[in-house]
Amino acid sequence: MNVLQQINVYDFLFINPWPWWFGGSLIGLFVPFFYLTANLPLGVSTGYGNLCRIAVPGTKLEALNTTAYRKIFTWRVFFIAGIILGAALARILSGDYTIVTEMGRFGATVTHSFSLSAAWFFSGGVLLGFGARTAGGCPSAHTIHGIPCLAPSGFVATAGFFAGGLFAVNLVYRILF
């Protein structure tokens, strides 16, 4: 019985998809955790500027020379690397780590060609990067961090994120394909 219970806990934590209340609570805890340990607001997209600085070291562009980018290898670069490793760990602990060339149902619905998919996701990424810097942040900083901190920018940006997402997805899946 004891062994069975242990297996169930392992399955719950590492194998089965987390129920919304469990995943949501832990992600919600991360915001105060980050303040209490590092005294920093959660945020990811600024770190992509650090990556740009690594790719184009001598850039004179003003937006890549703000105080956030005075140093290149700041905490943000390592935070980004950590997210990649943490997600890899999640798959490894589930016992099913596989490299996949599919992205959910995208390939089955929109296109079967890998290069077209690649171009599609690259274009989506460009909008994400450009939009995040224009809005001053991504859903980490604006939605998960900004709204709980009662920042007006968090509410406005989140409304924008969802408006854009609703438009794009319904255009693609209900009208075009």
Partner 1 sequence: MKRPYMFLLPGMIFGFLLSRAGFSDYDLFMDMFLFTNLKLVWTMFTAIGVAMVLMSLIRKFRPRSLTGEPVRIKTKPLHRGTLIGGVIFGAGWGMSGACPGTVLAQLGEGKILALFTFTGIAFGVYLFALVYPQLKKSGIPPA
DSSP state at residue 147: T
Site string for partner 1, 144-173 (x = CB under 8 A): xxxxxxxxxxx-xxxxxxxxxxxxxxx-xx
Choose, by CB under 8 A, the member of 1, 3, 4, 17 that binds partner 1: 17
CB nearer to partner 1: pick between 6 and 123:
123
CA distance 68 to 51: 12
- If we measure between CA atoms, which residue out of 14, 169, 170 comes closest to residue 93? 14
**Could you give the dihedral angle defined by the CA atoms of residues 130, 80, 56 and 114, in that order, rounded to the nearest 10 degrees?**
-70
Using only the alpha carbons of the chain, give its radius of gyration: 19
Asked if 97 interacts with partner 1 (CB under 8 A), we say yes
3-class secondary structure, 122:
helix
CB nearer to partner 1: pick between 7 and 81:
81
Q: How far is the CB of 97 from partner 1 (least distance, A)?
A: 6
Choose, by CB under 8 A, the member of 3, 4, 9, 84 that binds partner 1: 84
| CB under 8 A, 24+ apart: contacts of 124-129 | 129/45, 129/48
Asked if 116 interacts with partner 1 (CB under 8 A), we say no
* Ranges within 22-81 binding partner 1 (CB under 8 A): 22-42, 44-45, 47-49, 51-52, 55-56, 59, 61-64, 73-81
Asked if 7 interacts with partner 1 (CB under 8 A), we say no
Size of the site for partner 1 (CB under 8 A): 126
